[in-house]
Amino acid sequence: MRFITVRLRSIVLAAAMAGALGLGCLTANAAGAEEVYMSGTRSLPIYCVDRDDGKVALSFDCAWGVDHTDAILTTLAEEKVRVTFFTVQFWAEKYPEYVQKIAEAGHEIGTHSATHSYMSRLKEAEIRSELASSSEAISTITQKPVELFRPPYGDYDDLLIDTVNAMGLYPIQWDVDSLDWKDLSASDIAARIVSRVKSGSIILMHNNGLHTAEALPIVIGTLRSNGFTFVPIGELIYRENYTIDASGRQIPKGSA
């Protein structure tokens, strides 16, 4: 098993060296990114964070099933890495034992909505209901407040982002998409991530991707060897005195 992991890691490193690193937060693989390229006046979620300390955040969206979740949690525990999970309300209510297990392992949990709808199609009252009920469902299990929100499908508009902010939540996207939901191989998933990560990146993965758990130790090991460290999104972002540029990068005020 160790030989396979080392072999896969060498393949990933070779692929990463061949890949081109993007300069901005928004990449062609990020859902909804094409809309943001067109305008710098939109209300934007946080795609990545402007920082030079090598910190990055792994995140896992939870909406369908738990088949591979234990393997992911085992790797995270072995590697001593804390991450952020975004759970849909119906997932949290169906698998409360996993919500509790995730929280007890020291991971952060944000809401991924109540119904996994395209929320740009909702009215403000409907948005508020989705955010309030999903946050309450999570907090009831964990006894911890929910502070982060990720829109399903990466779909948003000004009303959604403005409402999320008004409710005291931080809207979170990603700048590195693993595409693990497409059932890519472990080496392909890892290569996509490693070739795109930079300091301040937010990495999108899924708790029930077919090869996500297999890719995870390769991702962690390779990024660590490249000087990166891992924190939950709540520890990656700035909580106040920041701006978000047209690429979705969160920047502390006063930075050049």
Q: What is the CATH number of the domain that holds 182?
A: 3.20.20.370
Identify the sign of the CA torsion 200, 202, 203, 208.
positive
**Residue 102 pLDDT > 70:** yes
**Residue 37 pLDDT > 70:** no
**Residue 7 pLDDT > 70:** no
Averaged pLDDT, 218-226: 98
Averaged pLDDT, 17-39: 39
The pLDDT of residue 67: 96
* CB-count burial class (<10 Å; 0-12, 13-18, 19+) for 143: exposed
pTM, to two decimals = 0.86
Averaged pLDDT, 216-238: 98
**Residue 36 pLDDT > 60:** no
Cα–chain center distance at 190: 15
Averaged pLDDT, 125-140: 98
Q: What is the total count of domains within the chain? A: 1
The pLDDT of residue 41: 78
Q: 38 lies in which domain range? A: 2-252
What's the rounded Cα separation, in Å, for the pair 116 and 160? 14
What's the rounded Cα separation, in Å, for the pair 107 and 113? 18
The pLDDT of residue 20: 38
pLDDT-based confidence at residue 39 (cuts at 50, 70, 90): very low
Averaged pLDDT, 166-181: 97
Which tens digits make up the pLDDT trace of 134-170? 999 999 999 999 999 999 999 999 999 999 999 999 9
pLDDT-based confidence at residue 40 (cuts at 50, 70, 90): low
The pLDDT of residue 215: 97
Averaged pLDDT, 45-60: 98
What's the rounded Cα separation, in Å, for the pair 89 and 169? 16
pLDDT-based confidence at residue 255 (cuts at 50, 70, 90): confident
Averaged pLDDT, 232-245: 96
The pLDDT of residue 6: 44
The average confidence (pLDDT) of the chain is 88
